[in-house]
Amino acid sequence: MSLTQEIENLIKEAEAAVIASKSDEELDQNKNNFIGKKGKLTSVLKGLASLSVEEKKTTGKLANEAQVKIESFVEAQRKKIKEEFYEVKLKNEFFDSLKSLPPLERGTLHPISQIQYEIEDIFTSMGFSIMDGPEVETDENNFGALNFTEDHPARDMQDTFYTKDGNLLRTHTSAIQVRALRNLKPPFRIIAPGRVFRYEEVDASHENTFYQVEGMVVGEGISIAHLIYTMETLLSRIFRREVKTRLRPGYFPFVEPGFELDINCLVCEGKGCSVCKQSGWLELLPCGLVHPNVLEHAKLDSKKWSGFAFGLGLDRLVMMRYGINDIRYFQSGNLRFLNQF
Ligand code: DAH
């Protein structure tokens, strides 16, 4: 076999071996095998010595071409191996960002915030504005201006958190009606939602921190009829059905007359059940006509101006709505409780 023929065969053999290579290592080995220093091409070229000058030239050229060709087979195969490697990797490691994301956990509004916002909507639709006030109040705003006498038991250290400088944590949002009377010109209608504080032993139905909405309307000729109409509108919208009310006398220093407003029991529709202790009624909120002393204290002529006020406890309202039996859940931060709303 001529040297030329041998080289041609070597090229074919090398091509087949390179194409069959499955890894870089195998490729390197084959490369070495054919065109390495001690490779097959080198040994074939040992035969050059016996050739004529002319033959040496052409065969030498062919050998160079063989070297280049085999190198290009190797590089082409190297590229192919690499591509296949990434193709497999891509297929196996495909990241489906939509499929594999954990379910999105959203926070929800606290049920007390939810009912507060509902109440705000109901009242703004009736022409009320929303007022705010500070949680640390003066004794005057929380008690004095509301006709509490100096020795009224509600001022007692046992009910009220006092601060070192002689102020207090407001015990009710009624402190904001004092601010309304001082800052707004009648006629006006306001509600004032907020957090209030009492120095209480905490149990299933008592918290030291809870939420109220105070309401106040001041105008000329405001009467109990306005109060009842406003309360029935509010309650029917909150409970999403017609709600009947009744007033019983109740005492609060800043209203005269003062009332406890009851609603017909929503569980038994007033027939009598264990929830309403067979009475057919549930005590819901205190209210009354603004005491003349409170108006006069704010320098309003109580002969000209009159008004009504009410205080709505949000915690109890939410408890009634959802059948929650322990007020302590609200401040617990317990996500298993909160995620239900
Ligand atoms: N501030 C009272 C309380 O927290 C509730 C209250 C009673 C508010 C009668 C009123 C009202 O506006 O007229 O116990």
What is the predicted pLDDT for the residue at 143?
A: 95
Number of C-beta neighbours around residue 214 at 10 A: 24
What is the predicted pLDDT for the residue at 104?
A: 83
CA 261 to ligand 1 center in whole angstroms: 11
Give, using CA atoms, the residue closest to atom 4 of ligand 1: 172
CA 338 to ligand 1 center in whole angstroms: 28
Q: Which atom of ligand 1 is nearest to the CA of 173?
A: 1
In single-letter form, the type of residue at position 28 comes to D
Residue 286 Cβ inside 6 Å of ligand 1? The answer reads yes
What is the predicted pLDDT for the residue at 270?
A: 85
**308 by DSSP, 3-state: which?**
strand
214 with 287: CB under 8 angstroms?
no
What is the predicted pLDDT for the residue at 46?
A: 87
Q: Which residues are annotated as a binding site for Mg(2+)?
A: 256
CA 259 to ligand 1 center in whole angstroms: 10
Q: Domain map of the chain by residue range?
A: 3-92, 111-338
**190 by DSSP, 3-state: which?**
strand
* Site to substitute for ligand 1 among 254, 289, 314, 315, most atoms within 8 A of C-beta: 254
Residue 288 Cβ inside 6 Å of ligand 1? The answer reads yes
Confidence label for 225 from pLDDT (cuts 50, 70 and 90): very high
Query: Average pLDDT over the chain, rounded to whole?
Result: 93
Chain-centre distance of CA 290, in angstroms?
Answer: 40
Cis peptide before 253 (omega within 30 of 0): no
pLDDT tens column, 139-151 = 999 999 999 988 8
CA 319 to ligand 1 center in whole angstroms: 19
Residues 155 and 162: their CA atoms lie apart, in Å, by 10
What is the predicted pLDDT for the residue at 233?
A: 94
Classify burial at 104, counting beta carbons within 10 Å of its beta carbon; exposed 0-12, middle 13-18, buried 19 or more: exposed
170 with 137: CB under 8 angstroms?
yes
Residue 311 Cβ inside 6 Å of ligand 1? The answer reads yes
Query: Percentage of residues in the chain with pLDDT exceeding 90?
Result: 74
Residue 315 Cβ inside 6 Å of ligand 1? The answer reads no
133 with 220: CB under 8 angstroms?
no
Residues 180 and 217: their CA atoms lie apart, in Å, by 10
- Report the half-sphere exposure of 177 (CA within 13 A, side-chain side): 31
Q: Is pLDDT at 194 greater than 80 in this prediction?
A: yes
Q: Which residues are annotated as a binding site?
A: 256
pLDDT tens column, 300-311 = 999 999 999 999
Residues 150 and 328: their CA atoms lie apart, in Å, by 32
Beta bridge partners of 307: 218
pLDDT tens column, 110-121 = 999 999 999 999
Residue 174 Cβ inside 6 Å of ligand 1? The answer reads yes
Cis peptide before 187 (omega within 30 of 0): yes
CA 184 to ligand 1 center in whole angstroms: 20
The pLDDT of 307-316, averaged and rounded, is 96
Give, using CA atoms, the residue closest to atom 14 of ligand 1: 172
What secondary structure letter does DSSP report for 215? E
Residues 14 and 46: their CA atoms lie apart, in Å, by 18
SS3 assignment for 233-299: HHHHHHHCCCCCEEEEECCCCCEEEEEEEEEECCCCCCCCCCCCCCCCEEEEEEEEEECHHHHHHCC
Q: Which atom of ligand 1 is nearest to the CA of 254?
A: 13
Confidence label for 45 from pLDDT (cuts 50, 70 and 90): confident
Query: Percentage of residues in the chain with pLDDT exceeding 70?
Result: 99
Question: Domain 111-338 falls in which CATH fold?
Answer: BirA Bifunctional Protein; domain 2 (3.30.930)
